[in-house]
């Protein structure tokens, strides 16, 4: 079985993430959306909210699961027997950053990183932009799946 993880903080899940997940699941038998927990980071949305946003967005796709983890991504991959890490690339800066991480992960393990380019109409969307729109009272609904709603 080809199992991959798509790691991130997903604070919140964006249409860019959604695009990569939808396209990524066609490459793997199972895709784990792995929400990393970093005690040093201040999140806009609670872990429970982020899990719900993702679970509800993909509730009709049984080959997608949502899990949380702490520590090194490659250690989590080994723990759940995932041979691949899926990452999305929006721009050349993402590539340089992700390339360094992929090389490090490959040095630490035999886990392969697979890169997908974000669809052109979504390449400008990032969680930090979405958070800024939300903080300033803007209409964020065109940047996130319908499951991401502020109450």
Q: Which of 41, 42, 107, 151 is catalytic?
A: 41
55 catalytic per annotation: no
* Other beta carbons less than 10 A from residue 81's beta carbon: 8
Q: Which of 109, 127, 135, 149 is catalytic?
A: 127
Q: Which of 23, 42, 78, 90 is catalytic?
A: 90
127 catalytic per annotation: yes
151 catalytic per annotation: no
Q: Are 65 and 35 in contact (CB under 8 A)?
A: no
Q: Give the largest Cα separation in the chain, rounded.
A: 45
The DSSP H or E segment spanning 66 is strand 64-69
Q: Which of 3, 9, 17, 78 is catalytic?
A: 17
Helix, strand or coil, per DSSP, at residue 93:
helix
Task: Say whether the peptide bond before residue 36 is cis (omega within 30 degrees of 0).
Answer: no
- CB contact set of 36 (below 8 Å; sequence gap of 6+): 7, 8, 9, 68, 69, 70, 73
Residue 43 phi, psi (nearest 5): -100, 150
79 catalytic per annotation: no
Please list the active-site residues: 17, 41, 90, 127
């Amino acid at each position: 079985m080809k199992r991959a993880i798509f790691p991130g903080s997903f604070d919140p899940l964006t249409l860019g993430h959604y695009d990569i997940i939808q396209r990524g699941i066609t490459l793997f038998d199972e895709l784990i959306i792995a929400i990393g927990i970093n005690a040093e980071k201040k999140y806009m949305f609670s872990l429970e909210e982020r899990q719900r946003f993702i679970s509800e967005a993909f509730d009709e796709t049984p080959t997608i699961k949502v899990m949380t983890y702490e520590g090194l991504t490659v250690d989590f991959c080994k723990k759940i027997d995932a041979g691949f890490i899926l990452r999305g690339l929006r721009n050349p800066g993402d590539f340089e950053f992700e390339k360094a991480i992929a090389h490090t992960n490959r040095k630490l393990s035999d886990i392969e990183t697979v890169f997908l380019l974000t669809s052109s109409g979504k390449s400008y969307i990032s969680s930090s932009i979405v958070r800024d729109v939300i903080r300033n009272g803007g209409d964020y609904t065109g940047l996130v799946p319908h499951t991401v709603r502020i109450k």
